Structure 1
Amino acid sequence: MSPLSINKLTVAYQKNPVLKNISFTIPEGNLIGIIGPNGAGKSTLIKAILELIPSIAGEVSIYGKTYKEMRKIVGYVPQRESVDWDFPTNALDVVMMGRYGHLGWIKRPRAKDRQIAMNCLEKVGMEGYAQRQISQLSGGQQQRIFLARALAQDAKIYFMDEPFVGVDAATEKAIITLLNDLKRQGKTVLVVHHDLNTVKEYFDWTILLNVHLIGVGPTEKLFTKENLQKTYGGKLTMLDSNSSPLIIS
């Protein structure tokens, strides 16, 4: 059963369609890049799947059920800019939030949950910052904390909205290492991504989106000059794997 299946999804803001008639199914255990220009509806797609915004038509199923039925196995890393980093809490408490779906009705974390949270901080290289206020962390450190929170949830499918934006090279390397670890565990990860030069290196599958679905499939087959031209239009300059210019006009 597919971890994610979408059928004729349409989303509009003030009657202006942002996503039109989107349908696709993805396989389990892959890293999947969601690619497209600004305003293409990439973040909107994730938010609609997670029911953070309403859709006007279409259906979304996660392992054959609704998001509400499966939310315990769904992890989400939002855009860093959308988070209130001045909220008075420390890094460990943020990561502990990922354990709430596993707690009983009392919602009181156990020693086991705290240990899991610390282990997740260690996986992203942030164990030494457990008691640090999140407002005192750098952008890359904040992103690692949110990745640790998603890890603590122990989900089967993850949605990450621009996790590589505004981070240093070391954090980007740590993130892609973590994503590959999740893949090896059989997890499915969908990532909104902007850097076209790393798409082939990072992702097994690609979703090309510009309000309409341009295409979805294995990156090696889908990530072509012709499909990128359909997605971005105009002229687009990027680098191929040999670091030579690729002009789409």
Structure 2
Amino acid sequence: MSAIDVKDLTVAYHKKPVLMDVAFSTPKGKLMGIVGPNGAGKSTLIKAVLGLIPKASGNVKILGEGYSPKNKKVGYVPQRGSVDWDFPTNALDVVLMGRYGHVGWFKRPSKKDVEIALDCLDKVGMKEYSDRQISQLSGGQQQRVFLARALAQDAEVYFMDEPFVGVDAATEKAIIALLNELKEAGKTVLVVHHDLQTVKEYFDWLLLLNKKTIAVGPTEEVFTSELLQKTYGGKLTFLDQSTIVTQ
């Protein structure tokens, strides 16, 4: 059984297709990158899979079942820019939101839940900021808090929408180390990613997307100049094997 199976997924805004017949399968325990040009539908794909936006057609299964927002086995880290960081709450409370699937929305978190939340903050280097209002945190710190919230959920499959955007090098290094820990623990992680220079270093499974599936599979097989040019419409320049420039 695959962790994620998507078949014939189409999404349209105002009757204009944004994604067309997207199909891919992700084995369990993979750290998968979703790569494509701006406007390719990468974020839209994640939102459609999670039921956050309506699908025009298609079928989605996560761990062999149709997805429900109540599914405790699925965690989601949205783009940082889509979050209201002025909401009056502190870092610990944000992470405790990840425990609601275990606790229930109308019950108070237990001492154990608080300990788990603090441990997750510690894993991302944010425990000392647990009482800090999220509006007072830097962009990288905010991203770490949202990652801690996903960890607190203790999911089997994680979807992360551009977690490296707007963070410093130290935060990016900490995030990828944590994602690798999740993979080693048998979790499956899907990451919308924009930096082609780090794709081969970060991901062992890859989806090339440009409104439709261009290619999907092991990174060493999919991350080729031919398939990248097909994905980006010829708007790439390969300076050498490790340097790619988008035009």
TM exceeds 0.5?
yes
- Go from structure 1 to structure 2 and tell me whether the alpha carbon gap of 1:196 and 1:239 turns closer, same or farther (over 3 Å shift): farther
Q: 1:34 to 1:114 in 2, by over 3 A?
A: same
Structure 1 residues 246 and 63: alpha-carbon distance in aligned structure 2, compared to 1, 3 A threshold = closer
Q: 1:248 to 1:101 in 2, by over 3 A?
A: closer
Correspondence for 1:81: 81
Aligned-partner Cα distance in 1 for 2:82–2:41: 16
Runs of 4+ in 1 over 6 A off after TM superposition: none
Aligned partner letter, 1:58: G
> Is 1:152 aligned with 2:155?
no
The Cα RMSD (Å) is 1.6
TM-score (norm 2): 0.96
**How far does the alpha carbon of each residue in 1:99-147 deviate from its partner, in whole angstroms, 9 at most, with x for none?**
0000147421000000000000000000000000000000000000000
Q: Return 232-241 or 42-51, whichever deviates more.
A: 232-241
Contact 2:36/2:194 (<8 A) preserved = yes
Structure 1 portions without partners, runs of 5+: none
* Percent of pairs with identical residues: 70
Q: 1:211 to 1:105 in 2, by over 3 A?
A: closer
| 1:71-107 C-alpha deviation (Å, 9 max, x unpaired) | 2110000000000000000000000000000014742
Question: Deviation at 1:182?
Answer: 0.2
Partner Cα distance (2:245, 2:96) in 1: 46
Number of equivalenced pairs: 247
TM-score, normalization by structure 1: 0.95
Give how far 1:237 is off: 3.1
User: Aligned-pair distance for 1:64?
Assistant: 1.3
Which residue is 2:115 aligned to? 115
Distance 1:194 1:104, change over 3 A: closer
Counterpart-to-counterpart distance in 2, 1:21 and 1:13: 15
Q: Which amino acid aligns with 1:195?
A: D
Provide closer, same or farther for how the CA distance between residues 248 and 171 of structure 1 changes in structure 2, counting only shifts above 3 A: closer
Unpaired runs of 5+ in structure 2? Answer: none
Structure 2 contact 40–210 (Cα < 8 Å) conserved: yes
Deviations 1:193-216 (A, max 9, x none): 000000000000000000010010
Q: Which residue of structure 2 aligns with residue 143 of structure 1?
A: 143
